[in-house]
Chains A and B, each alone.
Chain A
Amino acid sequence: MFYELLENIAQNNGMRDVSPYTKLLLGLGCILIVITSPGYIVPLFLAVILSCCILICARIPYRLYLSLLCIPLGFAITSVIVIILITGGDYAIFQYQLTDWLILSITPESLNQGILVFSRILGGMCALFFISLTTPMTDLFSVMKRFYIPDILIDLAMLIYRFIFIFMEKAHLIYNAQVMRLGYGSYTEALHSFGHLAGAIFIASWNTGEDLIKAMDCRCYCGRFAMLSKESPIRTGSLILVLIFLMLSIVLEIITADYTLIHEIL
């Protein structure tokens, strides 16, 4: 089932034993560099490097990674097309009169803008996928604890994490039961069935909440949630490597700040 997929991969990936701090530093550092980058080269460069990390170091199957990337890239391409068509510039390379009041035009500036936005999206997505595919949620809880996030928020996050999967499974079962008895056949039927599904989930979550309190009482609950397990130790070697890499990327970002694709072609 798809809802378990990402988390399963993160739990079993090749970089599971790398400290979450190192991975987070790399991922978040890359995101910061990507969104501050004025040129398109660094984001693309980071996208390639991070994808290599995901595919080679973390051993994520490339088909799966491509299909995951396709989801945000679909949105990205459509919005980039819009940006290219509506951003103004000095002269038009291509023009098309759609209606009396709307002229679609492509200018060098709009093309550059489009490419920059696209490369930033790609780089950012790769960094996000790097974090989510290599660092399971359970590791992030201990990181949250280390950064003094209030216990109550972490406890809530842990409970939510635990119960998301139970509810998804329940919803899936109810949905299947409805489909088997020909629910969702027509539009009105679908609305009706979905209402039933929501109602059933509400009742189920209410019951589960009560069961949860019972279970916690049975185990002497007195306000303290579970202790966090030990995370993998930070290895200085990999940490220094990540820092050097981020530094190099920043230097590259400064060097390539003025590069634009279209001016060089013309």
Chain B
Amino acid sequence: MTNIILEARDITYSYPYGPPAINGISFHIRKGEKIALVGPNGAGKSTLLLMFNGMIKPDSGMLLYDNRPMQYDRSSLREMRRKIGFVFQNPDNQIIAPTVFQDVAFGPVNLGMEPDDIRTVVSESLISVGLEGFERRPPHQLSGGEKKRVAMAGILAMNPEILVFDEPTSALDPQGSEDMMELLEEIHNQGKTIIISTHDVELAYPWADRVILLENGYILNEDIPERAFANKDLIRKAHLSIPIFLELYLELVKRGMKECERPPRSVLDMIQVIESDRHGQMQMPCTLCGAIYITDCDTLKPRALQRFVTAHHITAIGAMGSRAKTRLKEELLYPDYTYAVIDRCILQAMNGKDALLLTTGGMLIRAQERIDEFNQENARHIKIITVIESE
């Protein structure tokens, strides 16, 4: 295949004087994929991740980036680390400089960029993680989630092709974890390949394209999440648990519910599955479907949102992307949904209520496509109203 970006061929590694940490692993990752490396503590997740950008050299076997074996001389390593950005689990280990600006600028400075370019790159990456205006703050004054974002911005500023996150949601509160997953989704939409390690199956299950189950330095399973997480034996072996939606679905199937092509990954999926099984008994009449207003927050006039929300009887606001969230904050509105926003807006519309979806740029089209797709699949008529310039 041509679009394989990262490949491992039978790699092994053991720490000095320790038992083997990686026991002959082979896999490949395609460009633009979202991979979750799932396993218990001490399974070798972090070790494996550190191999991706050459921080650890495998004892045997080889790693290929873009179908070329990795070289471990100085200049190849630099190139490798620019293309494969690594975000540490503990942001305190990664943030080096005394201010946010200086820390994000660290990578670009070392890549030898021009001062003016550095300024633009830094402000762009800070905007994309939702931390504009934090330039002069020292890192020790930031909260855990903000520190994680600074660490991410520092890597994004180097414009890597693959982003590797070691436990991106560890030590974050549930809201923080959801924001983080949403941010990963946003970065993925910019065409990056993303690899995360985690043991939070609930977050990995709806997010990942493919899951690699790791235990004791071996790959237990490598599959799409629906299948990888459904194998009870392997899940038990890997000290994990079955995601709640999948378990519920499997139990319902056991009790005679019709099996469907794709097991549900979200609340919306679950409701679709149940409805299709009950032959539409739970469906509301289509005329009662609410509308979803989609707006691009960059084209909106200032202070237009408040009026819009009251004028159109909006019952729920979803913010997709960091810029939308910042915009809402400026307008003194609070988003009801910040994660899985499209799904939740659809759910709201299914109940006959109107929702406002605030987003930017390319995600606008993605949201429309998703809703169209849903309408076709389920023979629904959720109206999409694109608000370009608020009246």
Contacts and interface: CB of A to CB of B under 8 A. Distances in A.
B95 interface: yes
Contacts of A166: 92, 140
Contacts of B78: 220, 222
A219 B95 contact: no
Interface residues of A, number: 34
A205 interface: no
Interface stretch (B130-138, B286-294, B330-338, B355-363): B130-138
B138 A7 contact: yes
B81 A138 contact: no
B152 to A, nearest CB: 12
B165 interface: no
Given A7-B138, A219-B155, A219-B158, A226 B102 contact: yes
Contacts of B155: 219
B99 interface: yes
7 contacts: A138-B138, A215-B96, A224-B110, A224-B112, A226-B103, A226-B109, A227-B118
Nearest to A231: B136
B101 interface: yes
B82 A212 contact: no
A226 B105 contact: yes
B86 A218 contact: yes
A154 B355 CA distance: 53
Contact of B81 (A8, A219, A226): A219
A161 B99 CA distance: 10
A7 B98 CA distance: 12
A220 B99 contact: no
Interface of A: 4, 7-8, 11, 136-138, 141, 158-159, 161-162, 165-166, 169, 208, 211-212, 214-229
Given A4-B141, A215-B93, 4 more contacts: A11-B136, A219-B155, A225-B109, A227-B102
Nearest to B107: A219
A220 B85 CA distance: 10
B139 interface: yes
Interface residues of B, number: 37
A221 B135 contact: no
A218 B103 contact: no
Contacts of B106: 216, 219, 221, 225-226
Given A212-B96, A226-B103, A229-B101, A162 B110 contact: no
A17 to B, nearest CB: 10
B134 to A, nearest CB: 11
Interface of B: 53, 55, 78, 81-82, 86, 88, 92-99, 101-103, 105-107, 109-112, 115, 118, 135-141, 154-155, 158
Nearest to B136: A229
B93 A226 contact: no
A231 B7 CA distance: 46
Contact of A138 (B93, B96, B99, B112): B99
B194 to A, nearest CB: 16
A162 B98 contact: yes
A220 B107 contact: yes
A217 B55 contact: yes
A216 B97 CA distance: 11
B53 A218 contact: yes
Given A4-B140, A227-B105, A229-B135, A220 B96 contact: no
Contacts of B140: 4, 162, 165-166, 169
Nearest to B91: A215
B141 A11 contact: yes
A220 B102 contact: no
Contacts of A137: 98
A215 B137 CA distance: 20
A165 B92 CA distance: 10
Contacts of A165: 138, 140
Contacts of B93: 208, 211-212, 214-215
Contacts of B141: 4, 8, 11
Nearest to A228: B102
A220 B105 contact: no
A152 to B, nearest CB: 15
Question: Which 8 residue pairs across A and B have the least CB separation, nearest first?
Answer: A226-B102, A165-B140, A226-B97, A211-B93, A229-B101, A219-B107, A215-B94, A226-B106
Which of the listed residues B53, B93, B137, B141 has the most CB atoms from chain A within 10 Å of its own CB? B93
Contacts of B154: 219
A162 B101 contact: no
Which of the listed residues A137, A212, A223, A229 has the most CB atoms from chain B within 10 Å of its own CB? A229
B55 A218 contact: yes
